[in-house]
Chain A
Amino acid sequence: DTAVSQTPKYLVTQMGNDKSIKCEQNLGHDTMYWYKQDSKKFLKIMFSYNNKELIINETVPNRFSPKSPDKAHLNLHINSLELGDSAVYFCASSQGRKDTQYFGPGTRLTVL
């Protein structure tokens, strides 16, 4: 009965590969997010979707492409992975544009 779940939890891959991280929420929320926590521990928003519509798109390389097939899912696809993409990626959701965001457990991505 996990509220916000992410798969996989750990992802180790080689430079240049393409990978996806999946996120699902069962809270009935209509807004979902992707955050990146880098090696300096800063949590920075990457994208936000509201009702499957992209509403926040921070300065993120276009190798990163979010996809929201429905309100309960927001996946993150990353092309041509680079060493600097190594980080923990968190998915979150909220009801509307409210600030109480509920986070998933994170996906630790390691690019070798």
Chain B
Amino acid sequence: DQQVKQNSPSLSVQEGRISILNCDYTNSMFDYFLWYKKYPAEGPTFLISISSIKDKNEDGRFTVFLNKSAKHLSLHIVPSQPGDSAVYFCAASEGAGNNRLAFGKGNQVVVIP
């Protein structure tokens, strides 16, 4: 049973435009959410996180939005750059101190120059 779901497995976007990645979760006990970015032949790297006490967290070009009632979060990348072409994983856990992460299957993003 997949507790973290990422549909629309691939996304193509023009350089400079916005990339929006979506993530849904089923476990209502999740209260800490993360996005990881992965290049081919490399491990995932941490990008941004959000606690359930917030509905938005911003870090440079990356913003994560959380809608707890809908059990939905999204990652916005503005403006998209060619170096953002990668697979993006959504992950969640029950509590910021809990190291048991549940991952989605990832979204492939291709930024077209």
Q: Which B residues contact A (CB, under 8 angstroms)? A: 2, 32, 34, 36, 41-46, 49, 89, 91, 93, 96-101, 103, 105-106
Contacts and interface: CB of A to CB of B under 8 A. Distances in A.
17 contacts: A31-B99, A41-B106, A42-B103, A43-B89, A44-B103, A97-B98, A99-B32, A99-B49, A99-B91, A99-B99, A100-B34, A101-B99, A102-B45, A103-B36, A105-B42, A105-B43, A106-B42
A43 B2 CA distance: 11
A15 to B, nearest CB: 25
A103 B44 contact: yes
Interface string A22-35: 00000000010100
A103 B99 contact: no
Contacts of A96: 97
Interface of A: 4, 31, 33, 40-45, 48, 55-56, 90, 92, 94, 96-106
Contacts of A41: 105-106
Contacts of A98: 96-97, 99
A4 B97 CA distance: 21
Contacts of B44: 43, 90, 103
